Amino acid sequence: MNTLYKNISSSVVADTVAEDELELINRHTIKPLTADEVFCFTLTLCDNEIDRDFERFSVPSLVKLASMFDGRTGITDHNMKSDCQTARIFKTWIEESEDEITSTGEKYTCLKARAYMPLTPKNEEIVRQIEAGIKKETSVSCAVSVMSCSICGEDMRKKGCRHRKGEVYDGKVCHTVLEEPSDAYEWSFVAVPAQPRAGVTKSFEAEDGMTLAQLKEKSNGFDSITLSLSAFSKLTDEISRLEVLAKDADLYRKGLEQQVMKLASMSVPSLGSEEFADICHTLTASQLSVLEKAFADSASKRYPVRPQLGGGTTQKINNNNEFKI
């Protein structure tokens, strides 16, 4: 049985180890390791999308490979020498997208894994390369029992068929469906993957009590963010509070724009109302406040307020001018 190499890129996620993961890691160690002694990351091993070789794994194949890859070692460029070992998988799972569809019309589904490596002087360079996004593409080495044609279903290893991979038949791209995996050997960091989505991605684990501003600042440069349930709950509460404030701010702004336009029409009657409304829409609330004060001062001078019952002394002139025609 031939060894099958399937590559995937741009999805290695570097982050810290969770306390409940140490037990899974220490299943593979002789001496128990602590959180300070390991570097962990998440990677996508393979998926059900057609790759550059016009091949894809079926979803049942991904499910079967999940158990096979648990505990498998990570190397570089599929070099089988023990000196090339860099990491080991300690957890795998299947992840299905709710809104993303593959080119074949299926829900996008991938095999994800968590891997660890000891923090040793030898591994310092590869850790830096993962964190810098250099070591980002991976490839899996496995064996499958069936490689069927997507058009006619024939096992291409046994009989073959007249269809050619990459060509279109009745609107469908011919490709090989990889089914019934029989073994998983290893996974590797590679330079050019066949499956564009497989690989290592960086992630950031948010701490409880972090504000949105702190979350934005701390997570800069990461591809994904991991939230605990309590952190997620606090952030959703904060977002709900901000949504209420945003509605209030929107009402305040609309009222401010109307007031500025009213005062502007009193101060500068020749000013076009539609054109000035367009200008107001582009201004900030602070700028509108400045305009409101300026127009209010101008309007008060142009139309001074004269109270009907004002005090003060007036001089009465008995010339009866008001009655003259």
Domain residue ranges in the chain: 4-205, 229-302
Average pLDDT (316-323) is: 58
Residue 150 to residue 105: CA distance in whole angstroms? 13
Section 307-313 average pLDDT: 58
Q: Which contacts qualify for 76-79: CB closer than 8 Å, 24 or more apart?
A: 76/188, 76/189, 77/188, 77/189, 77/190, 77/191, 78/5, 78/139, 78/141, 78/186, 78/188, 78/190, 79/188
CA distance 317 to 307: 21
pLDDT of residue 238: 84
pLDDT tens digit string along 272-303?
777 788 888 888 888 888 888 888 888 787 77
pLDDT score of 235:
80
- Is the pTM higher than 0.75? The answer reads no
What confidence score (pLDDT) does residue 50 get?
92
Query: What pLDDT was estimated at residue 200?
Result: 47
Average pLDDT of span 31-38: 91
How high is the pLDDT of residue 305?
Answer: 65
For residue 40, which of 132, 131, 138 has the smallest C-alpha distance? 131
- The H-or-E segment that residue 171 falls in is none
Q: Is the pLDDT of residue 201 over 60?
A: no
